[in-house]
Amino acid sequence: MSQQAENPVHFLEVAVEAAEEAGAIIAEAAHRPKNISYKGEVDLVTETDNKAEVVILARLRHHFPAHAIVAEETGASGAEASSKYKWYVDPLDGTTNFAHGYPVFAVSIALLEDGEPLVGAIYNPVTREMFRAIRNEGAYRGDARIHVSSVEKLSKSLLATGFPSHKRVQNPNIHYYWEFTLRSHGVRRAGSAALDLCSVACGQFEGFWEFGLKPWDTAAGILLVREAGGAISNFTGDPYHPGDRELLASNGLIHAEMQAIAAQVAAQEPASLAGNPG
């Protein structure tokens, strides 16, 4: 086994290179007409999602043939899913924005070790910012260490959320959106969960929540938030694992307040929506 075979720095280097290569493809396509297909009623995919995913997978497979990979557009490949190392790849997070020419989208790549995020890279091809983290080694934007904000009150916080493109009617989030909007400086709904989590990690947003996110949406972003000093859980404060029903990410200081509001909303949710993430 080579010296680099289990080296997180090497894992991150490859993830960063893959995200930059995919990001260049996305940036180049951003101003051209889009070839849009539908995976669901409003679940868009473009040929750029697929092209970006192809270059990422080629790089990961070349460097890590023994690792498992789960990518949004092609599903599982590589080694057995039970492999110690598993990559989650979102080649273009914010496809709806990309398709409409709204410049908020990113590439998100994470490696999990025994189910826990070990490295993460999120690249914004519009601003050319690279967000990256290795477990227990801090979070960075470019070469600068980043930290969550020090705001202590929900009433002084800027929040973010998102709404999934599938089973929209069953999703309870509108009730949470209403309540959090009234109790904070506002709730942004920018359309890229990966970038929302980067914004929590670098202190632009104090908190973020969403229902029904997939592992490739969150695996890199939750590592960034943790390594920037923030908190990650579900609404009841239990550990969040990529793919769980709901995610609550915050600077840690407003976490309990957000959980309390969420509990209040859950208690009032129409019965038909309770426990149904869509």
Is residue 94 within the footprint of ligand IPD (CB under 6 A)?
yes
Minimum distance of Ca ion from residue 47's CB (angstroms): 13
Which of 48, 192, 199, 259 forms a contact with ligand IPD (CB under 6 A)? 192
Among residues 46, 60, 93, 229, the one that binds Ca ion under rule CB under 5 A: 93
Q: For ligand IPD, which is the closer residue by CB, 94 or 125?
A: 94
b/e 242-253 (16+ beta carbons within 10 angstroms → b): bbbebbbbbbbb
Decide the pairing of beta strands 68-71 and 85-93: parallel
Is 53 near ligand IPD (CB under 6 A)? no
Compute how many residues bind ligand IPD; rule: CB under 6 A: 15
Q: Which of 93, 227, 246, 257 binds ligand IPD (CB under 6 A)?
A: 93
Binding mask 197-236 for ligand IPD (x = CB under 6 A): -------------x--x---x-------------------
Q: Which is nearer to ligand IPD, 83 or 96 (CB)?
A: 96
Q: Which is nearer to Ca ion, 193 or 261 (CB)?
A: 193
Rounded Cα–Cα distance for residues 74 and 27 (Å):
22
* 90 binds Ca ion, rule: CB under 5 A: yes
**Which parts of 142-181 interact with ligand IPD (CB under 6 A)?**
162-165
Length of the chain (residues) = 278
Q: How many Cα atoms are found within 13 Å in the side-chain-facing hemisphere of 132?
A: 21
The pair phi, psi for residue 10, each rounded to 5°, is -65, -45
Q: Is 120 in the site for ligand IPD (CB under 6 A)?
A: no
Binding site for Ca ion (CB under 5 A): 72, 90, 92-93, 217
Binding site for ligand IPD (CB under 6 A): 90, 93-96, 162-165, 191-193, 210, 213, 217
